[in-house]
Chain A
């Protein structure tokens, strides 16, 4: 989506317009979900819902443009994800969570078996990176944030973001599956 269209949607949504919000959701939710899948795995959808809810609550005070909203949304998502991880860490004995997790992973496994997409494979591989590298790659490549915005989302300096993204990509490039892919060519994926 063009930044201008996104900016118009942000303005409409900030004024309470539901269609404006729907446009934002449609254009950003896929990338948001993928970012969260790398961060929190199976609970990505829940965290994405929380993220949108908080964005909806605070939208009326938002007066930035489309790209600014993109960064803002991903920053909310990151904080929600961190909260979620803290909660999960505090309740390691949570039996209900285990059962739910089992059900969820079984469902995910089934879904993966049905349609093992290149996207799932790619996200799975990115998720094996050290967290700072995985986040830098996801925000830069998938969310389409520029270095400065990514730096603000992550609370780092732009230079650190560049280094993290570079290291992440190098590590990915060296992965056996990626190397094999390079040999057979992307058209066969």
Chain B
């Protein structure tokens, strides 16, 4: 009798080890397979058994974490759907102010040597609502001139009000543009369904470069390849750069997705104009001439 049991058991073992790919597919799908794989089927169904209360105990903490993490990093307005319409309005206003400042401002600054923030605000109030066309997505990235380069003429990188896009943009990273580009690509890639996740270190480095987790999207805009701009930058991207020189010219305005930054890119003694459509402060990525004439501030 014992010998018979041992024989049966041995047979079972042999059958069990002959697991074919069809069996695997059936087992994966949760179908009961032949009697030879009963043990394995039981193991797998135990592995994917219904959730225990312990596994569902942390929901409130998780949602609280989501609330703060999402607020911390989401573009202003927190909902893309709700944001799209005001963002467009803001983009128009920012484009208008940039254009006015780049042309009018440069002319004034060239003569007087300084451009008061009040004048910029006035210019914006005059022309901000004229309906200058919104910048096209992905434009204005080709400019290679850096803000503050003393050799560049004041008019370089400026946009006339008639132009649909303010042109010419500066590399936003002061230190290592190549590194920034790599980090931004990695950051962009991980947001795609099949992209690779960033390492914590790379992420931290990018946060440091960008000046905060919530600034990554803005920071990375110039580093993205044109057609595959990040999802959060779909509402329209435009950079306008007024290159600074010793006489102190307005800096660049950067309107992207309603989250425009303004850079005071001058190395003179006055702050450049900028448009900022979120309630964040305008950040001067280049560390010089951080602008104080914040106009076009969008409130929702």
- Residue A152 CB within 8 A of the other chain: yes
CB distance from B277 to the nearest CB of A (A): 17
CB distance from A109 to the nearest CB of B (A): 15
Judge whether B191 and A189 touch: CB under 8 Å. no
* Chain B residues bordering chain A, tally (CB within 8 A): 62
Chain A residues near B35 (CB-CB < 8 A): 182
Contact pattern, B 69-95, Cβ under 8 Å of A = 1, otherwise 0: 110111100111100000000000000
CA of A185 to CA of B56 in the docked complex: distance in angstroms?
30
- Of A30, A34, A68, which is in contact with the most chain B CB atoms at under 10 Å from its CB? A30
Chain A residues near B74 (CB-CB < 8 A): 16, 60
CA of A13 to CA of B66 in the docked complex: distance in angstroms?
9
CA of A155 to CA of B232 in the docked complex: distance in angstroms?
26
Judge whether A33 and B16 touch: CB under 8 Å. no
CA of A111 to CA of B113 in the docked complex: distance in angstroms?
75
- Of A22, A57, A65, A121, which is in contact with the most chain B CB atoms at under 10 Å from its CB? A57
8 Å CB contacts to B: which residues of A95-149?
111, 117-119, 121-123, 125-126, 138, 140-142, 144
CA of A183 to CA of B69 in the docked complex: distance in angstroms?
50
Chain B residues near A85 (CB-CB < 8 A): none
For the residues of B in contact with A, the DSSP-based class is: helix
CA of A71 to CA of B43 in the docked complex: distance in angstroms?
24
Chain B residues near A79 (CB-CB < 8 A): 197, 199
CA of A172 to CA of B55 in the docked complex: distance in angstroms?
25
User: For this complex, into which size category does the number of interface residues on chain A fall?
Assistant: 35 or more
CB distance from A172 to the nearest CB of B (A): 6
CA of A139 to CA of B35 in the docked complex: distance in angstroms?
25
Judge whether A29 and B48 touch: CB under 8 Å. no
Chain A residues near B112 (CB-CB < 8 A): none
CB distance from B57 to the nearest CB of A (A): 9
Judge whether A173 and B39 touch: CB under 8 Å. yes
Chain A residues near B40 (CB-CB < 8 A): 169, 172-173, 178, 182
Q: Given the known A-B contacts A152-B194, A169-B27, are A118 and B46 also in contact in the complex, defined by CB atoms under 8 Å? A: yes
| Contact residue among A62, A119, A121 (Cβ-Cβ distance under 8 Å from B52) | A119
Chain A residues near B65 (CB-CB < 8 A): 49, 52-53, 56
Kindly report which residue of chain B lies nearest to residue A13, judged by CB atoms: B66
Chain B residues near A57 (CB-CB < 8 A): 69-70, 72-73, 213
Query: What are some 7 contacts across the A-B interface (CB < 8 A)?
Result: A25-B59, A60-B232, A62-B193, A118-B42, A122-B47, A162-B24, A178-B39
Would you list the 7 A-B pairs with minimal beta carbon distance, nearest first?
A: A182-B39, A64-B193, A68-B193, A186-B42, A118-B46, A30-B51, A61-B191
Given contact pairs A29-B58, A117-B52, A169-B19, enumerate 11 new A-B contacts (beta carbons under 8 Å).
A34-B55, A56-B66, A60-B78, A71-B193, A72-B193, A78-B197, A117-B49, A142-B47, A165-B24, A179-B9, A182-B12
